[in-house]
Structure 1
Amino acid sequence: MAARGTALSLAIAASLTVSHVGQAQLRNVELELVLAIDTSTSVNADEYELQRTGLARAFRSANVQSAIASLGEQGIAVAVVQWAGPGQQRLAVDWTWMKGPQGAERFAEDLSAMPRAVSGFTDIAGAITHSMNQILTNNYVGDRLAIDVSGDGTSDENDPIFARDRALAQGITINGLAIHSDEYDLGDLAQMGLVHHYTTRVIGGPGHFLIQASDFDDFARAIEKKLVREIIGPAFAER
C-alpha cells in the first residue's frame, strides 16, 4: 500500500509539474488577432495576389508598425486563416508574436510567401468557427480577442449569425472588411446587400466595425486602416 501511495504521489506531482510548464509557455499579449481572408471561387488569382501583397504591405507600413509598438512589451499575436466553403479553412500563416517593426517585418515576409490553400463556396460561418478555435487553442492569452473577416460576397453556405454569436460568447470581437467586386456584386443593390450581410450577420462585439474596399485594388489601403484601428483598440481608435 505504501508503494502504491508513493507512486500515486509521484504521478500527481508529475502532472502538476506538466501543468505548470504548460502555463509557463503561455504568453500574455495585448491582442490576439486572426486575419481571415476570402479565397473562395469568386476570388481569382489576381485578386488573391492583391490580398496577399496588401497584407504584407500593411505590416511593413509605418502606421501599422507604430500601432504595434504603442502597445508596449506585451505586443500582439497574429495569424492568417484562408477560408472558402464548408471544411475549406486553413491556418495559412501560424501565430506570430510581435511588439515592434522587426516582428512585423518578419510577419510580412511570411505573408509574401503565403500560397493559396483553399477554394470553393462562401462559408463565412466556417471561417468564424475555425478562427475562433485558433484563438481558443493557441499559446497566447490576450487582453483583447478579435477576428478580422474580409470577403467579397455573402454566405451561400450556412448562416454566419450562429457562429458569430458563439464567438461573441467567448469574448471575441468580429470586425469586417467588405470588398466590392463589380464582377460578382452586380451593381449598387448587391453592394448594399453585402454591407447589410456583414453588418447584421457577421460583425459584433465591443468596438466592432466594418470597413469597405471599393475593389480588390483598394484592399491594401483598407486593410492598413483596419489593422491600425484593431491594434490600437476601440478606446483610442478613430470612430
Structure 2
Amino acid sequence: MFKALVMLMSLAATSTTAAQASRNEVDVKLVLAVDVSRSMDYEEMRIQREGYVEAIKHREFINAVRNGLTGRIAISYFEWAGFAMPESAIDWQVIETEQDAIDFANKLEERPLNFQRRTSISSAIAEGAAMIVSSPYRGSREVIDVSGDGTNNSGNPVAPARDKAVEAGIVINGLALMLRPSGAPGGLDKYYADCVIGGPGSFVLPVHKIEDFAIAVRRKLVLEISGLVPPATVHKVALGRPAVDCMVGERQWQDLFDR
C-alpha cells in the first residue's frame, strides 16, 4: 500500500514537472532593445514608442504568434543609449492571446520617455544576450531586436559583442532609423548589415520616415516570430569580411576632441 502511494506521488510529481516544462516552451524568445539616445527629439521618441505599442497590439502580430508551433512567444523590452537602462526594462512575459499582447503593450505605453547620451549598441547586445540566457523560457529561436539611429560610439566595440552573441546561438536583427545622416559610410543600414546583425536569417530594415516606423516594426516582428526569410528588399547579414569600418562611430567621436 505504501509503495503504491509513493509511486502515485512520484507519477504526480513527474506529471507536474512535465506540465511546467511544457508551459516554459515557446516558439521564440524575443528581446526588444530600443535606442533612446539624444540624437532623437521628443516627437521622434514619442512616435517610436507608439510604433511599438501599435505593432504589438496589431492583428498581424497576434496571428503570427498563434501560427507558431506552440502558439506562444516570450517577449521582453528595454531601452538603451550610452548604456542599457535597467529601469526601462519590462520583464519576460508570455504572449499567447490577444489580451496578453494588449497587456504587454499597455505596460510599454505607461513607461515615461527618457533620453540619455551616447550610443552603445554593444551594451544593448550584451544586455539582450544576458536577458535571454537568464530567461526561464525555452525557445526554438532566440532573437535580439535592436533599433537605433546611429553608430556605436561608446562602450566596447560592437562587432565582438555581436559575434559573441551569435556564437551563443542568438540571432540579432536591426531596425535602422535613417531619419538624418548618421555618418556611416554607405548609410546606417549598411553599417547595421556589416557590423550589428548576425545569425541565421538575420536582417535589417531601414526606416527613412518616422511615420513609417509603426509599419516597419510590425513587419519586423512578424518576420522574427514567424521565422520567415526576409524579402530581397531587406538587407540580409553580409557574408565574409565586413565592408564597413565597424569602428567608424568611435573614430568620429574621438575626432570631436582631437580638433
Q: Distance in 2 between matches of 1:115 and 1:192?
A: 34
Task: Give the aligned partner of residue 196 of structure 1.
Answer: 190
* Partner AA of 2:158 in structure 1: P
Which stretch has the larger CA shift, 23-32 or 77-86? 23-32
Q: Secondary structure at the match of 2:187?
A: helix
What is the distance in 1 between the residues matched to 2:84 and 2:99? 34
1:30 aligns with 2:27: yes
Q: Classify 1:24/1:65 alpha carbon distance in 2 versus 1 (closer, same or farther; 3 Å).
A: closer
Instruction: Structure 1: give runs of 5+ residues left out of the alignment.
Output: 1-16
TM-score, scaled to structure 1: 0.82
Q: How does 1:104-119 map to 2 (within 5 A)?
A: 104-117=101-114, 119=116
Q: After superposition, give the CA deviation of every residue in 1:56-102 in whole Å (9 maximum; x if it has no partner).
A: 10011111111011115450001111010046455522111012312
Q: Please list every run of at least 4 consecutive aligned residues from structure 1 whose deviation after the TM superposition is greater than 6 angstroms.
A: none
Residue of structure 2 in register with 1:224 after alignment? 218
In structure 2, the residue corresponding to 1:58 is in which secondary structure?
Answer: helix
Q: Does 1:144 align with 2:175?
A: no
Answer whether contact 1:66 1:100 (CA < 8 A) is retained.
no
Q: Could you tell me whether the CA contact under 8 Å between 2:184 and 2:191 is conserved in 1?
A: no
- Aligned equivalent of 2:163: 165
Correspondence 1:52 to 2:49:
yes
Measured on the aligned residues, the alpha-carbon RMSD in Å equals 2.4
Determine the structure 1 residue equivalent to 2:131. Answer: 134
Shift of 1:55: 0.5
Q: Kindly state the Cα deviation for residue 192 of structure 1 after the two structures are TM-superposed.
A: 2.8
**Within 2, Cα distance between the matches of 1:180 and 1:98?**
30
**Which residue identity lines up with residue 160 of structure 1 in the other structure?**
V
Q: Is contact 1:181–1:215 with CA below 8 Å preserved after alignment? A: yes
Please state if 1:211 is matched with 2:205.
Answer: yes
Q: Which amino acid aligns with 2:124?
A: A
Q: TM-score, normalised by structure 2?
A: 0.76
Distance in 2 between the 1:71 and 1:114 partners?
29
Change (3 A) 1:136 1:89: same
Asked whether the 8 Å contact 1:36–1:82 carries over to 2, the reply is: yes
Shift of 1:217: 2.2
Q: Which residue of 2 aligns with 1:79?
A: 76
Question: Structure 1's 83 and 126: CA in aligned 2 closer, same or farther, altered over 3 A?
Answer: same
Give the secondary structure class of the aligned counterpart of 2:32: strand
Q: Percent identity?
A: 36
Q: Which runs of 5+ in 2 are unaligned?
A: 1-12, 233-259
On the 8 A contact 2:173/2:203 being kept in 1, the answer is: yes
Amino acid at match of 1:162: P
Written as runs of structure 1 = structure 2, the 5 A alignment for 1:10-21 is: none
Q: Distance in 2 between matches of 1:62 and 1:191?
A: 37
Over 3 Å counting, the alpha-carbon distance change for 1:138 and 1:232 in structure 2 is: same
Q: Distance in 1 between matches of 2:62 and 2:221?
A: 10
Distance in structure 1 (CA, Å) of the matches to 2:171 and 2:99: 27
**C-alpha deviation, 1:114, in angstroms:** 1.8
Cα distance change of structure 1 residues 232 and 110 upon mapping to structure 2, 3 Å threshold? same
Q: Are 2:111 and 1:121 aligned? A: no
- How many residues matched? 215
**Secondary structure at the counterpart of residue 43 of structure 2:** helix
Question: Is the alpha carbon distance of 1:151 and 1:114 closer, same or farther for their aligned partners in structure 2, counting shifts above 3 Å?
Answer: same
